[in-house]
Structure 1
Amino acid sequence: MIKRLTKIGFICCLGSSVVSLGLGIWSVTGSPAMSGKLVISGGILLALAGVLQLEVSNFFQRMFAEYSDLDRYPGWAPSHVARQAIDNPDRPIATKVRNLFFFDVRTALWLIIAGTFLQLIGVWI
């Protein structure tokens, strides 16, 4: 379900980017101030589409797949990685927050998406 929504978001961002860039180039002679906003919005939407495409193509999972190779790292990852990922049963909330911030690949994706949307809103304020 998530991949399907990500694919739909990718297509929507890519289409919106093309429309925004086209309108921005078309309105250069009539309204230069609006043209600039449309071109910048198109660029931001294109960047967002690129990030979504990375998620759809499983780039993030492949990037971190090295340590999950059991043939190369029998038992688990090297000790410096294992020390970072071991849960502390005495502090379950802190451990979950730490794992979310530092080990969940999707956290970065959603931070980039949120930042891109904030930039898009800032262009139009």
Structure 2
Amino acid sequence: MDTINVKRNDEGKRRKRKNEGINRRKDTLIKKAYELGEFDGIDVALIICKHGRYTTYRSKDYVSWPPSIAEIQTAYPLPKNILPEDIEKRLFKHTGGKLPLKNKEEGRTMNNKQTTCK
């Protein structure tokens, strides 16, 4: 019975560490978005959805910012739409065929999960 409790405790600690790491990455991403928005002529909008809860950052506090997806798709010059596959190809190319992501399989599984964020 004690081994079951130890396993549950270890699992809880593992999940907590993982969640803390994700939160640190989120905070770093928001800080980087802020820093990027400080440059002249650059406006930043960031949307993060974790387990159905949204976190947003906007470099401009306007009702019209950020633009809707429809507005972005009809903008000129045409937008650059970057997907995870594009980043993976770039990383693969620059690392000589090795992806430097530590939890690649775990991350892919998490990304393919059904969530309420759509």
Establish whether TM, by shorter chain, passes 0.5: no
Larger relative contact order (C-alpha < 8 A, sep ≥ 6)? 1
Query: Per residue, is there more helix in 1 or in 2?
Result: 1
TM-score by length of 1: 0.28
